[in-house]
């Protein structure tokens, strides 16, 4: 592995159906098998659904890996893991639903990616406390490459 090409990637995990703790552990294990040992894993927090109604609360966490995969290859891997864990489809057009696992790429180093398939930084990162709270735990000084504020600063603006 060429460590000169390694980038820190920050990923959010969320689950609100089935054995939620086991779902997170399984997703982390599957990501680890692709990316190697995580550099950091946040605490797990429990949150209410965001953007839709459900009786099922979420467990959320953030995780950091170093990777040499391109953002697109990383997306391929996260989507494969979601499918393996029973996720049928991604949320689209603001229509959200219960899910066994949701894996979102939040940040990929200081890169900005804006393609029809992938947007990094995650376009809703700065609006979601359920993502910012765990992310701030493992990367408070990480700079958002578009907003030019640290994760800790962004979190303080929505609290």
Q: What is the pLDDT of residue 95?
A: 60
pLDDT digits (tens, 9 = 90+) for 13-57: 999 999 999 999 999 999 999 999 999 999 999 988 776 677 889
Taking the C-alpha atoms of residue 106 and residue 81, their distance in angstroms, rounded to an integer, is 17
Global confidence as pTM: 0.91
pLDDT mean over 93-103: 74
Q: What is the pLDDT of residue 55?
A: 80
Can you give the residue ranges of every domain in the chain?
A: 3-120
For residue 53, give every residue at least 6 positions away whose Cβ sits within 8 Å of its Cβ, in sequence order, or none.
none
Q: What is the pLDDT of residue 93?
A: 54
Q: Nearest Cα to 126, choosing from 136, 137, 116? A: 136
pLDDT digits (tens, 9 = 90+) for 137-158: 999 999 999 999 999 999 999 8
Q: Which active-site residues does the annotation give? A: 87, 99, 102, 104
Q: What is the pLDDT of residue 111?
A: 95
3-120 homologous superfamily: 7,8-Dihydro-6-hydroxymethylpterin-pyrophosphokinase HPPK (3.30.70.560)
Q: What is the pLDDT of residue 50?
A: 73
Dump strand ranges (E) for the chain.
Answer: 7-15, 40-41, 45-47, 58-67, 102-108, 113-114, 119-120
For residue 99, give every residue at least 6 positions away whose Cβ sits within 8 Å of its Cβ, in sequence order, or none.
14, 15, 16, 17, 87
**Inter-residue contact 134 to 142 (CB < 8 Å):** no
């Amino acid at each position: 592995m060429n460590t000169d090409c390694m980038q820190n990637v920050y990923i959010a995990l969320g689950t609100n159906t089935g054995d939620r703790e086991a779902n997170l552990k399984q997703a982390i294990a599957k990501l680890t098998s692709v990316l190697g040992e995580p550099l950091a894993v946040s605490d797990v927090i429990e949150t209410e659904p965001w953007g839709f109604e459900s009786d099922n609360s979420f467990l959320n966490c953030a995780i950091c890996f170093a990777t040499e995969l391109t953002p697109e290859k990383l997306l391929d891997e996260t989507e494969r893991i979601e499918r393996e864990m029973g996720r049928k489809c991604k949320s689209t057009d603001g229509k959200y639903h219960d899910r066994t696992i949701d894996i979102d790429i939040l940040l990929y180093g200081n890169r900005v990616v804006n393609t029809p398939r992938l947007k990094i930084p995650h376009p809703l990162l700065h609006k979601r406390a359920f993502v910012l709270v765990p992310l701030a735990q493992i990367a408070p000084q990480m700079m958002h490459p578009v907003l030019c504020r640290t994760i800790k600063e962004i979190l303080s603006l929505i609290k």
